[in-house]
Amino acid sequence: MRISLQAELGDFQDRHTIYVFALKMSFLAVTLSSVVITLILPPLSWMGMLPVPLAHGVVYGVLLSWLIGGAVSSVLSLVAGHAMHQLSVSRAEFEQLSRTDVLSGLLNRRAFTEALEEVDENACLAIFDVDRFKAINDRFGHACGDAVIVAVSAILAAAFAGSSAAARLGGEEFGAIVVGGSQEQRIERVRSVCAHLAGQPVAAGDCVVAITVSAGIAELGEGRSKEGAYSAADKALYLAKALGRNRVVHENEGLHPGWRRHSSEEREINTICDEARLA
């Protein structure tokens, strides 16, 4: 119902639509009142209750309906149109806020998950984590930590614009859907972003913080569940942490092609990831 109404009346985020809406409503109101007058006056004339000739009464009635009814309906339609405009803008702003992380301006986890479901192939999932972020907060304070989040977010947003997408998943963890190119090219894009971040110290107040970022990558292939890809990227990230941080690990560096592992390899990777989580 809302979609059909919007298609008929237009998008009320556009002010031009308000005036078109008012014009349409005024025309409909005046036309309807003219029809009603034309139907009512003949019986009144036949009963002798019309003080003027029927033709004059019809002309006067139609003129009054256009002058008075048109003016009143125009004002009311403009008021209603402005109210609908405000509601439409507020709704759009609310939807934007509900999908955006307030601090970073990136997609939030919910919006990122929705975007992930729309990806079919020729893409990968990358999960980034700022190395030793807790130590930054403890040493320089949360204001500096927030500045780091904002700086990282700006670089990710610029690097993964267009058909790709970036999000803040929570805390110092970020995600990106990298679309297009070959697998090697997508990995290189992620490595380039991490190298850029490592070469851009973050200034916040009196402190300047040099940061590094670790990343894990998993392919979003056809027939693979998004949950499976997320789990593989998460394990690749923890493997990058365990191997010394400030590096990018693709899932195939620890997994066999086709996303299958031998049990011994799986146990080894899980052990490394668990150690990284505790570190």
Tokens of 14: 């556009």
From the list 87, 168, 187, 83, the residue with the least C-alpha distance to 130 is 168
Determine which helix (DSSP H) or strand (DSSP E) holds 273, and give its type and residue range. helix 263-278
CB atoms within 10 A of CB 22: 20
Residue 130 and residue 237: Cα distance in Å, rounded?
11
Q: What is the DSSP letter of 252?
A: G
From the list 230, 219, 216, the residue with the least C-alpha distance to 258 is 219
Half-sphere exposure of residue 109, counting CA atoms within 13 Å on the CB side?
A: 7
Long-range contacts at 53-56 (CB < 8 A, ≥ 24 apart): none
Tokens of 272: 């490394």
The type of residue at 103 is L
Residue 265 and residue 257: Cα distance in Å, rounded?
13
Catalytic residues: 172
